[in-house]
């Protein structure tokens, strides 16, 4: 008989579900507006017509982000990560609201310099808030996903190159995967673990560099070492969802929530999962 895959979603909570939907829809609209404002094919009048709707979403988005961040506090007692995420996210919503208010209240047509300035501001805020959403999702998954037996290389090859679903990646880059066989199965949270490794590779890599992901067994633990650069290994496509100030602390917190051993140094991050 086939074994059902354990659930990876947090327990149903109407307020949290509503908040997730609000943030998802608002950031989708913001991302679309950022694309429109940067397109020479879209007229200024069409952009001006969208601004009020995105402006109206700022208040509900701010409240929804607070709800999502507060929902993490119970799973991260004593951690500063929720405060760091809130301190990063809310000023960006304030900046977005102020920018859009000025644009909506200014009845003059958008000129080329105005379009350029709007494009830059919206693009930056969209990327930064998308990164916040990605970290919130990682922390939720790490807290609530059920563990499942996997071989780490198989999991990384399957999940890291997978097409994004429901999220907008900041970039697509290549890492180098090296293995020291044999590698046994371990019990881990698959979505959380693969997202952790991808987030670490993105954080550690230079924009044009090639990070390394090495997997080996040491003293009964499968260790995954992520470094900023690697000269050898098989190419592996990785989707990145943005790096912001709270990223490193959120990765550490998510590793702890996932039951994964974690350490970090100047050259990289080490994740460890005990052999079954």
Helix, strand or coil, per DSSP, at residue 274: strand
How far, CA to CA in Å, does 125 sit from each of 41, 91, 128, 129?
A: 22, 10, 5, 6
Residue that the structure tokens 């919206």 belong to: 122
**Domains of the chain by residue range:** 14-144, 148-274
**Token duo for residue 224:** 């995954």
Q: How far is CA 231 from the centre of its chain?
A: 26
pLDDT in tens, the chain (276 residues): 344 444 555 566 899 999 999 999 999 999 999 999 888 888 888 888 999 999 999 999 999 999 999 999 999 999 999 999 999 999 999 999 999 999 899 877 777 677 778 889 999 999 999 999 999 999 999 999 999 999 999 999 999 999 887 778 999 999 999 999 999 999 999 999 999 999 999 999 987 789 999 999 999 999 999 999 998 999 999 999 999 999 999 999 999 999 999 999 888 999 999 998
C-alpha angle 254-202-177 in degrees, rounded to nearest 5? 95
The greatest distance separating any two alpha carbons of the chain, rounded to the nearest whole angstrom, comes to 68
CATH 3.30.565 fits 148-274, yes or no: yes
54 near 99, Cβ under 8 Å?
Answer: no
Which two structure tokens, joined as six digits, stand for 192?
């959380």
Q: Are 175 and 269 in contact (CB under 8 A)?
A: no
Residue with structure tokens 């829809």? 25
H/E segment holding residue 224: strand 221-227
């Amino acid at each position: 008989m086939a074994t059902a895959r354990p659930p990876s979603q947090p327990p149903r909570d109407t307020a949290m579900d509503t908040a997730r939907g609000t943030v998802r829809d608002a950031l989708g609209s913001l991302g679309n507006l950022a694309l429109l404002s940067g397109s020479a094919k879209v007229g200024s009048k069409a952009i001006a017509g969208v601004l009020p709707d995105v402006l109206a979403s700022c208040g509900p988005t701010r409240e929804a982000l607070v709800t999502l961040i507060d929902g993490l506090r119970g799973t991260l007692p004593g951690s500063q990560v929720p405060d760091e995420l809130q301190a990063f996210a809310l000023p960006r919503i304030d900046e977005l609201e102020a920018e859009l208010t000025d644009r909506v209240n200014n009845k003059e047509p958008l000129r080329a310099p105005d379009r350029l300035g709007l494009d830059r501001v919206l693009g930056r805020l969209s990327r930064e808030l998308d990164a916040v959403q990605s970290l919130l999702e990682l922390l939720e998954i790490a807290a609530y996903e059920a563990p499942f037996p996997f071989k780490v290389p198989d999991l990384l090859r399957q999940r890291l190159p997978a097409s994004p679903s429901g999220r907008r990646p900041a970039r697509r880059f290549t890492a180098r995967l090296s293995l020291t066989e044999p590698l046994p199965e371990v019990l881990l949270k698959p979505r959380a673990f693969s997202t952790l490794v991808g987030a670490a590779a993105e954080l550690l890599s230079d924009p044009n560099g090639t990070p390394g992901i090495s997997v080996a067994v040491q003293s009964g633990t499968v260790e995954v070492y992520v470094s900023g650069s690697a000269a050898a290994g098989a190419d592996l496509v990785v989707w990145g969802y943005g790096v912001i100030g709270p990223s490193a602390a959120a990765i550490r917190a998510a590793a702890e929530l996932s039951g994964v051993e974690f350490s970090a140094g100047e050259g990289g991050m080490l994740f460890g999962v005990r052999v079954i």
